Amino acid sequence: MRIAITGSVIAGMINLILVGAAFLRQSASQDLDTEKAALRENINSLEVINQERIDELQDELDEIRAEVEDLEAAFPELGAPFAIYQQSLAISRENQVDLLTISKQSTDILETYQGTIVEKQYAIGLAGAMEDCIRFIGDLEHAGRDTLSMKFINLMPQDNRCSIEVSLLGFSGSNRE
């Protein structure tokens, strides 16, 4: 009988240990499930935050691209440099002004991603009625609208003279890609 009682006590203790271990496993499993749910919630929150940031960055990128396109559209489509001597002579004859001088002031070479661009500065001296000089300036500006820009205009009505300084942009040779 002692052996049976001892066996029962040992079996009861083993059963108690097994029940305790099962309870600990169940408690640990519940803790893991709770932590897993919290981690999933954190991951979902991070994904939402990341997606919002990506959307913001994409919007900023689209705005920057639009600005770049606007800026690129504002620049003239360059080709060969404007033929300042021939055009000035022809326009002066059309507007009945005397072309007194055309002189090159400076030349700058600019390296761009599209190739080498040449910028040349010219000074032009004219004699004639002020209305004719002003018309000449407008016609010259219109003729070179893609590559010519006025830098300085000096009208001297008392002497029937005017002078202008212009800047011309154009690709040098065949460097355009």
Closest CA to 136 of 170, 168, 157, 162: 162
Give the model's pLDDT for residue 45: 92
pLDDT at 139 over 80: yes
How far apart are alpha carbons 136 and 147 in whole angstroms? 17
Q: What is the 3-state secondary structure (H, E, C) of 109-171?
A: EEEECCEEEEEEEEEEEEECCHHHHHHHHHHHHHHCCCCEEEEEEEEEHHHCEEEEEEEEEEE
Q: What percent of the chain is modeled with pLDDT above 70?
A: 90
Closest of 85, 171, 86, 161 to residue 127, by C-alpha: 161
Q: How does pLDDT run across 82-106, given as a tens digit for each residue?
A: 678 888 999 999 999 999 999 999 9
CA 144 to chain centroid: 27
CA distance 8 to 58: 73
Whether residue 122 is predicted with pLDDT greater than 90 in this model: the reply is yes
Find tokens 């919290």 and name the residue: 38
CATH of domain 84-171: 3.30.70.60
Of the pLDDT bands very low, low, confident and very high (cuts 50, 70, 90), residue 134 is: very high
Whole-model pTM: value is 0.52
Q: Which two tokens stand for residue 171?
A: 């690709």
For 32-75, write each residue's pLDDT tens digit. Answer: 999 999 999 999 999 999 999 999 999 999 999 998 887 766 65
Q: Are 73 and 93 in contact, with CB atoms under 8 Å apart?
A: no
Closest by alpha carbon to 109, among 165, 171, 163, 48?
171
Q: Is the pLDDT of residue 175 over 50?
A: no
